[in-house]
Amino acid sequence: MYSFFFLEYHQNPATGNLEFRPWVQHFMLAGVRPPLWQFVSYAFLHGGLMHIIGNMFFLYLFGNNVNDKLGNIGYLCFYLAGAVFSGIGHSVLNPSSVIPTLGASGAVATVTGAYLVLFPQALISVFYWFFFIIGTLEIPALYFIGIKMILIDNVITQRTAYVAYDAHLAGYTFGIAAILGMLATGLISTSNFDLWAMLKRWNRRRQYRDAVSGGYDPFTGRTETRRIKVKEVKSPAEQQKDEKSQELRNEISKRMLERNLPAAAALYLELMNHDSEQLLPRQHLLDIANQLAGDNKPAESARAYEQFLTHYGNYEYAEQVELMLGILYCRYLNQPKQAIKYLEAAAKKLADPGQLKMCKDELARLQK
């Protein structure tokens, strides 16, 4: 880029000033009906030393990490595509302009938009001064790029007529949209920290709020949707029951955080006796079921395991829970029909050879 810049200028013998060489005009993006190749060539030209220094600074600041994510060839193609799209955006939004355009700002804006999507939570150190107060502060890239560089610098305060703001905005748009599309389709790997992951988490929270507002109760697992009528007022006994249930739930959570599983299991049994429709979070319920099995309480642990499968049947290791239920019903509760039901279900999905052999041995013994 710098080599192109130095080739652009020569010293005018008459005035002694630096001026564009005659060929430069042919490689700028013409204002009216530009040739196709000018949508690339214009991005390698700059109108002054500060112009190229500014572009190269932001390309260095944001480009390295984007390059690491896309790879060298992918990054080069992405950069050139950003230059073309920025030029198209500028030409479409300024059809009557006769002023030619040059500069890599649109392509750099594309890379900056990509950085916003890939690393929205990365902290950018910003230098500031106010009279005698000088310092730095760290701002997440999402806010620095989104608010300062895009909204304020290119939308609100368009100060200079010679700056191609529309090319900048087209570059940001292309960079953000293209990277979001690549993340959504799996062309590049996503993480828990990029903008796509943030949007998915926001959507899950929105769906959860919609479900709860429609009547779904995440604690009891009721899925019927209903609107509470104004006349539906709980009796004092019902309110007292709910308060007691919530108190027991809070105590269970507290004991789980302390890893005091025996106390949590005892509180769970009390909760079930108080209100059998109460449902604990998935991992809490599984840990308590395992604790009850270890405490030699087969009936109580079987009840907890069955509640687990009823509400969390899509658990990735559900077959191990089914195996445990089959063993409980076979060896301890003397209910062969229930045991066969769960053992047959587990045998279809078990991958561990030892567990599969145990399951088949139990089935063979029951089916004699």
The string of DSSP letters for 188-257 reads S---SSSHHHHHHHHHHHHHHHHHHHTT--TTT------PPPTT----HHHHHHHHHHHHHHHHHHHHHH
Residue 34 forms part of a structural domain: yes
pTM: 0.57
Give burial (CB, 10 Å; 0-12/13-18/19+) of 191: exposed
- Going by C-alpha positions, the residue among 189, 61, 71, 179 that lies closest to residue 117 is 179
Residue 130: its pLDDT value, please? 79
Residue 330 forms part of a structural domain: yes
Measured distance CA(48)–CA(325) in Å, rounded = 76
Instruction: With H, G, I as helix, E, B as strand and everything else as coil, classify residue 138.
Output: strand
- Going by C-alpha positions, the residue among 292, 299, 297 that lies closest to residue 265 is 292
Q: Are 312 and 293 in contact (CB under 8 A)?
A: no
Show the low-confidence residues of the chain (pLDDT under 70).
Answer: 1-6, 9, 11, 16-17, 159-162, 211-234
- Going by C-alpha positions, the residue among 311, 123, 120 that lies closest to residue 221 is 311
Residue 209 forms part of a structural domain: no
Residue 222 forms part of a structural domain: no
Residue 341 forms part of a structural domain: yes
Give the number of other Cβ atoms within 10 Å of residue 139's Cβ: 15
Q: Are residues 136 and 250 in the same domain?
A: no
Measured distance CA(41)–CA(31) in Å, rounded = 14
Residue 101: its pLDDT value, please? 86
Q: What is the CATH number of the domain that holds 195?
A: 1.20.1540.10
Outline where DSSP puts E strands in the chain: 9-11, 18-20, 123-130, 133-140
Q: What is the CATH number of the domain that holds 259?
A: 1.25.40.10
Residue 230 forms part of a structural domain: no
Q: Are 101 and 29 in contact (CB under 8 A)?
A: yes
Domain count, the chain: 2
Out of 147, 173, 200, a domain closes at 200
Residue 229 forms part of a structural domain: no
Structure tokens at 333: 């509760």
Residue 125 pairs in a beta bridge with 138
Q: Are residues 285 and 164 in the same domain?
A: no
Q: Are residues 127 and 270 in the same domain?
A: no
* H/E run at residue 109: helix 105-118
Q: Write the pLDDT tens digit of every residue in 204-239.
A: 888 777 766 655 566 555 555 555 555 556 678 888
- Domain extent for 189: 2-200
Q: Write the pLDDT tens digit of every residue in 280-301.
A: 999 999 999 999 999 999 999 9
Out of 200, 231, 257, a domain closes at 200
